[in-house]
Amino acid sequence: MHDISRALTPGHPTWPGDTPYRLEPGARIARGDSVNTGELRTSTHTGTHVDAPWHYAEGAPRLDEVGLDPYLGRCRVLTVRAREELVGPEVLDGLPDALPPRLLLHTGQPAHWAEFPSAFAALSPEFVREAARRGVRLIGTDSPSVDPLTSKTLDAHHACLGAGILILEGLNLSGVADGEYDLVCLPLPLVGADGAPARAVLLPAGTLAEVSG
């Protein structure tokens, strides 16, 4: 099993302008309380997280309207390199015409971000549409976003919306070999939300079929 979630450590960087990640102490046994508790405050797009379509399109489905099915099942991990900070459809050349429903992109981001990345590999709309043509319904990336940091038009997000593809961002794919796996990605069940932090793991391909069978 590969845990491909980013560890949320103190000071974990968030998207510029988003609510900083904070885990503060609540009750403490050392102070005489009966339990230890904590108070969590952060953006819904901190670390490894899913984007609900409502995040980038008014009237689109919110997180609880998406369901879990898209985040569970066969996936392919693929190492890609960007040209001028965009991943193009040519990275799919040589792959089967039919791909698993979930495609996870290893662009080379490190396992831990000391600072929020200012430059990273985003996705071209052409790549999104070609992935959709090959059967992909969920795109995951180790980058913090499928669009560049300074984008206001969010071309890749809207290409995903038009193609019926969901988005999983901020993965930790360092040390994971390319190939097919079973993905288990469980976002927090936040009703009415635009997205949520998620715990994502990779299992050997076929594991979920064995469990469900």
Is 112 annotated to bind a ligand? Reply is: no
Q: At what angle do helices 155-163 and 125-133 cross, to 10 degrees?
A: 20
In the annotation, is 55 catalytic?
yes
93 marked among binding-site residues: no
The verdict on whether residue 158 carries a ligand-binding annotation is no
Q: Is 15 annotated as a binding residue?
A: yes
Residue 125, helix vs strand vs coil: helix
Cβ 132 vs Cβ 99: under 8 Å: no
Supply 2's token pair: 């590969």
Backbone Cα Rg of the chain? 18
Torsion of CA 45, 47, 53, 56, to 10 degrees: 50
Q: Which of 12, 55, 106, 158 is catalytic?
A: 55
Ligand-binding annotation for 97, yes or no, is no
106 is annotated as contributing to ligand binding? no
Residue list, annotated binding site: 15, 45, 49, 51, 157, 169
Binding-site positions for Zn(2+): 45, 49, 51, 157, 169
- Known binding-site residue numbers for substrate: 15
Residues annotated as catalytic are 55
